[in-house]
Structure 1
Amino acid sequence: MAINQEEVEKPLRKISVAFKSLYDTLNSQTNNGEVHLEVGPFSHACSLVSPLFRCLGIAFKFAEMDYVAKVDDLVQASNSVTTLQVMMKRDIDSDCVRKAGSHTRNLLRVKRGLDMVKVLFEQIIASGGSSLKDPASTAYAQVFAPYHGWAIRKAVAAGMYALPTRAQLLKKLNEDETSAKAEMQNYIDSCGPVISYIDKLFTSQELGIDW
């Protein structure tokens, strides 16, 4: 029995479509003064990225566990708060922004996860090689390493040798080379402005993004 292509799980396409929707939402507001992003659609889009960390294996197991927990918190927050801006304002008013478990702190961690995936995709597209070690190492070094201690950095470095090959990753994602590159580029183009928006939220409140 032939498999309907629409029934095949396409996590990469789901990610790119979700972030294109977020980008369109931001873009549609740019000429109307203050820009807002709802917690619900944002947290849903972020949840679609979780399987990608899983596909990368043990090297990013720490990222998967931390990322999933933080996204789950934002999903729960969406039940009681409308936008990222309102969510951040509540934490500021409650003086809990930098406390472990705060929605704002978790948002910053999730943003780094999105950024890591963006850099990874950029490196995969640029490299063209069969190994993911260099793209993944570059993405980790650029986004996560500055915030990790020696033990975690060492564990990640060891895990890099267990990464799937490029072909194995594409197989897990049910994509071929051409379709994967297209979806990765779509994510890069859409996620960049979303990340910039979140960075501006933090800097506008003088919170910084390096903590």
Structure 2
Amino acid sequence: MDNSETEFNLKVVLVSFKQCLTEDGEVLLDYYIASWKGLVRFLNSLGAIFSFISKDVVSKLQIMERLRNSPQREHYTSLQSMVAYEVGSKLVDMNRRSRHPDSGCRTVLRLHRALRWLQLFLERLRTSPEDARTAVLCTDSYNASLAAYHPWIVRQAVSVAFCTLPSRKVFLEVMNVGTPEQAVEMLGEALPFIGNVYDISQKLYAEHSLLDLP
């Protein structure tokens, strides 16, 4: 196992979301992408069960990195500048057969929804009793977030997959921040950083009526 693996811990990832925000509340996309890459590592460390989410996230991150490296990259510095540019340039449309399926607004919205699921799940892990079933915690979080955007066949497959999740204790140990008690304490300190980024993104998308982008 190399040093990058042994040094990984979830607190570093969650706190990295703090770097996403400027003093003015702008969400910096380079830090957002980097923070998500850390979450993907966390998901992958839990095994193939979360691959249906992590693979989709990775493909979305690749789209965002292409935009950040494109000739229009100056418009993709922050979430706010991206929304202003794409809405102003009519690169966003609300049609089911979108002419801009890889727009930054649509791509980040998919990441935003997945972030809500993770936020809810980690918060439920933090506040649940020791004997809580992670399958129930994860399913409840999924039903309150991502499920609304997935077809029935995917929802069924996901609910079956969640039944094989490891115990709460294993989840807390995989965070690599010490004992389960220390992991719970860490989540209480660090989860608000994800919450702040999520809330600002949610408000921005709501203001531009983009929350239901197909």
How would you bin the TM-score normalised by the shorter chain?
A: 0.7 to 0.9
Distance 2:5 2:143 in 1: 37
CA contact (8 A) 2:20 2:29 kept: no
**Residues 121-155 of structure 1, C-alpha deviations (whole Å, 9 max, x = no match):** 11111212343111101111111111111100110
Quote the sequence identity (%).
Answer: 24
Q: Which amino acid aligns with 1:191?
A: I
Call closer, same or farther: CA 1:6–1:50 in 2, change over 3 Å: closer
- Tell me the residue number matched to 2:34: 44
TM-score (norm 2): 0.82
- Tell me the residue number matched to 2:124: 123
**Which range is displaced more, 131-140 or 171-180?**
171-180
Distance 1:178 1:210 in 2: 40
- Tell me the residue number matched to 2:157: 155
The alpha-carbon deviation at position 103 of structure 1 amounts to: 1.1
1:207 aligns with 2:205: no
The alpha-carbon deviation at position 178 of structure 1 amounts to: 2.2
In structure 1, list runs of 5 or more residues that go unmatched. 30-34
SS class of match (1:164): coil
2:201 to 187, 192, 198: 198
Distance 1:187 1:143 in 2: 21
Q: Which amino acid aligns with 1:137?
A: T
TM-score (norm 1): 0.83
> Would you say how many aligned residue pairs link Structure 1 and Structure 2?
199
Q: Let me know the Cα RMSD of the aligned residues.
A: 2.3
**Residues 43-79 of structure 1, C-alpha deviations (whole Å, 9 max, x = no match):** 1112211122223444432111111211222233333
Q: Which amino acid aligns with 2:166?
A: P
Distance 1:60 1:164 in 2: 12
In structure 2, list runs of 5 or more residues that go unmatched. 94-99
| Matched ranges for 1:178-197 at <5 A | 178-197=181-200
Distance 2:182 2:158 in 1: 29
- Tell me the residue number matched to 2:112: 111
SS class of match (1:73): helix
- Tell me the residue number matched to 1:19: 17
